[in-house]
Structure 1
Amino acid sequence: MVDVTQHELVPEHTILEDDELEDVLAEYDIKRTDLPKIKRADPALPNEAEVGDVIEVVRDSRTTDTAVVYRLVVE
């Protein structure tokens, strides 16, 4: 079976620690549930990701070197 997380076109997905998450939520003045969602079944997620975790996705960008987005893991 192919591990899609290792494919060159799949951006880096990492689980945020609680202290990092609090900083992000404070910076944007939002709640965890206000974040865009990503399904737990998404093959790009790390294996240890659980429902309720927040994922940081770092993508390449043409206008900036990288673009960082956050997603809430849902069932």
Structure 2
Amino acid sequence: MVDVSQHELVPDHTVLDDAELEDVLEEYDIKKTDLPKIQRRDKALPDDAEVGDVVKIVRDSRTTDTAVVYRLVID
């Protein structure tokens, strides 16, 4: 079976630790529940991602080299 998360077109997904999460929430002045959602069954998520975690996704961008987005993992 193919591991989709390792495909070259899938951007890097990283689970944030508590300190990183606090920095992100403070920077944007939001609550964790205000973040866009991603379902736990999404094949691009790391195996250690659990419901309630926040994932940092780093994508290639034509205008800024990289674009960073954050998603809250839901069931």
TM-score bracket for this pair, using the shorter chain length: over 0.9
Alignment RMSD (CA, Å): 0.3
Q: Does 1:62 align with 2:53?
A: no
Report % sequence identity: 77
What TM-score, normalized to structure 2? 0.99
* Mapped partners of 1:66, 1:4: distance in 2: 21
Instruction: Give the structure 2 partner of residue 2 of structure 1.
Output: 2
Q: Give the ranges of 4+ consecutive aligned residues of structure 1 lying more than 4 Å apart after TM superposition.
A: none
Q: Deviations over 1:5-42 (max 9, x none)?
A: 11111000000010000000000000000000000000
* Alignment length (residue pairs): 75
Q: How does 1:28-67 map to 2 (within 5 A)?
A: 28-67=28-67
Instruction: Give the structure 2 partner of residue 24 of structure 1.
Output: 24
For the residue of structure 1 that corresponds to 2:33, the secondary structure is: helix
Give ranges in structure 1 of 5+ residues lacking alignment: none
* Mapped partners of 1:19, 1:58: distance in 2: 18
What TM-score, normalized to structure 1? 0.99
Q: CA deviation at 1:55?
A: 0.1
Give ranges in structure 2 of 5+ residues lacking alignment: none
* Mapped partners of 2:9, 2:24: distance in 1: 26
Q: CA deviation at 1:50?
A: 0.3
For the residue of structure 2 that corresponds to 1:60, the secondary structure is: strand
* Mapped partners of 2:34, 2:18: distance in 1: 16
